[in-house]
């Protein structure tokens, strides 16, 4: 009995240290990478939004595990001289609150983002989404066509795939993983593990200079972000499968960009069929480019944005 009590005491002590380290890690991340913009509250959830520039409106939606800094590192400054750019931290990520504890679907995210940017006077923008954010952009276009002038999709997840959910996401999205695994990761995983993983996302291109220090790896390792990202990732396949029949009804200008060296979201599975599912969609296949077209060839992406703006009558 004494041995059991000792073991229980040690477990309690270890868990207390874990929670303390997790909270300390989160506080340090927020101090080192504070909000860049302002907060808009929708249905009690605070969403972090940055708005800069002048001109036609464009909203930028980042991918899984990340935050708005993926865009503010390079693309936002390039666009701000000619567009009014609104960039968001998706629900539960970066500095934005979770919508609930079940994981926000791509449809729920689209609904809340439409309302959030409207609070800042953005009513019919171009909508650009990267990777997972591309699925949210498609949900925006299919559910709120009156609130979008056009779409620009960068390596967007858009069609069903047959590979299983990874063990990491299966564990972290489970009830036990939500309670136990997330605090353990926040407490004990160093930031460099995230920055080391970034290199595989950019491959075969190198990680942009200064990106790893700028992106805020500690924000990705927040318990809230780990839990929300895992649930979002676990649910997206079913959500996309449900959304595919709605693509035929998209009538706005659509520009699709995808690198043929992308091994995260495959061109042949996603963007090639999507270009046939949306009438008039323009597909640009980027030779030798990996999963981050906006970093690999920002000029090509900006040209696509300009085409969408012209096709939508915004320029």
Q: Which of 37, 22, 65 is nearest to 215 (CA)?
A: 65
Give the pairing type, strands 150-154 and 254-259: parallel
Model pLDDT, residue 138: 99
| Integer CA distances (angstroms), 256 to 53, 178, 191, 298, 308, in order | 24, 35, 33, 14, 10
Is residue 23 predicted with pLDDT exceeding 80? yes
* Dihedral in degrees, nearest 10, Cα atoms 15, 16, 17, 20: 120
Which two structure tokens, joined as six digits, stand for 190? 């160093």
**Confidence (pLDDT) at 73:** 98
Query: Confidence band (pLDDT; 50, 70, 90) for 11?
Result: confident
Residue 9 has pLDDT above 80, yes or no: no
3-state secondary structure of 265: coil
pLDDT in tens, 64-102: 999 999 999 999 999 999 999 999 999 999 999 999 999
- Domains of the chain (ranges plus CATH)? 33-161+236-311 (3.40.50.1820)
Structure tokens at 268: 């042949």
Mean pLDDT of the chain: 96
Name the residue with tokens 């002038």.
Answer: 149
pLDDT at 239: 98
Contact assessment for residue 297 and residue 289, using Cβ atoms and an 8 Å cutoff = yes
Instruction: Give Cα separations from 158 to 78, 232, 261 (angstroms).
Output: 27, 15, 17
Closest CA to 139 of 165, 116, 105: 105
Distance in angstroms (rounded) separating the CA atoms of residues 109 and 144: 12
Tell me: the pLDDT tens digits for 172-226? 999 999 999 999 999 999 888 888 888 888 999 999 999 999 999 999 999 999 9
- Alpha-carbon distance 2 to 37, whole Å? 54
Instruction: Please check whether residue 271 is in contact with residue 283, taking contact to mean a CB–CB distance below 8 angstroms.
Output: yes
Count of other CB atoms within 10 angstroms of residue 8: 10
Cβ–Cβ < 8 Å for 98, 104 = yes
Residues sharing a CB contact under 8 Å with residue 230, sequence separation 6 or more, in sequence order: 103, 169, 172, 173, 177, 178, 182
Report d(CA 305, CA 114) in Å as an integer.
Answer: 19
pLDDT tens digits for 116-147?
999 999 999 999 999 999 999 999 999 999 99
**What is the three-class DSSP state of 115?**
helix
Q: Nearest 5°: phi and psi at 286?
A: -100, 115
What is the Cα–Cα distance from 42 to 74, expressed in whole angstroms? 28
Q: What is the pLDDT of residues 211-265, one digit of tens each?
A: 999 999 999 999 999 999 999 999 999 999 999 999 999 999 999 999 999 999 9
Per-residue confidence at 52, pLDDT binned at 50, 70, 90?
very high
- Give the pLDDT confidence score for residue 277 in this predicted structure: 98
């Amino acid at each position: 009995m004494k041995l059991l009590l000792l073991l229980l005491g040690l477990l309690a002590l270890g868990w207390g240290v874990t929670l303390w380290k997790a909270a300390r890690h989160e506080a340090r991340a927020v101090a080192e990478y504070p909000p860049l913009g302002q907060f808009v509250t929708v249905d009690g959830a605070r969403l972090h939004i940055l708005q800069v520039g002048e001109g036609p409106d464009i909203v930028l939606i980042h991918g899984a595990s990340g935050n708005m800094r993926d865009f503010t590192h390079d693309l936002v400054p390039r666009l701000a001289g000619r567009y009014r750019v609104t960039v968001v931290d998706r629900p539960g990520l970066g500095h934005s609150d979770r919508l609930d504890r079940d994981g926000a679907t791509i449809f729920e995210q689209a609904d809340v983002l439409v309302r959030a940017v409207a609070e800042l006077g953005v009513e019919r923008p171009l909508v650009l989404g990267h990777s997972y954010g591309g699925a949210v952009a498609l949900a925006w276009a299919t559910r709120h066509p009156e609130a979008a002038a056009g779409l620009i999709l960068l390596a967007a997840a858009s069609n069903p795939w047959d590979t299983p959910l990874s063990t990491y996401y299966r564990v972290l999205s489970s009830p036990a993983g939500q309670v136990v695994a997330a605090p353990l990761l926040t407490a004990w995983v160093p930031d460099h593990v995230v920055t080391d993983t970034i290199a595989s996302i950019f491959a075969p291109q190198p990680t942009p200079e200064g990106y790893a220090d700028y992106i805020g790896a500690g924000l990705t390792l927040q318990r809230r972000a780990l839990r929300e990202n895992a649930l979002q990732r676990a649910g997206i396949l079913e959500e996309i499968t449900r959304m595919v029949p709605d693509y035929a009804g998209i009538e706005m200008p659509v520009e699709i960009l995808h690198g043929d060296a992308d091994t995260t979201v495959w061109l042949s599975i996603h963007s090639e069929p999507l270009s046939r599912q949306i009438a008039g969609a323009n597909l640009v296949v980027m030779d030798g480019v990996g999963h981050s077209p906006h970093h690999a060839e920002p000029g090509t992406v900006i040209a696509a944005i300009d085409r969408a703006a012209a096709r939508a009558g915004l320029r």
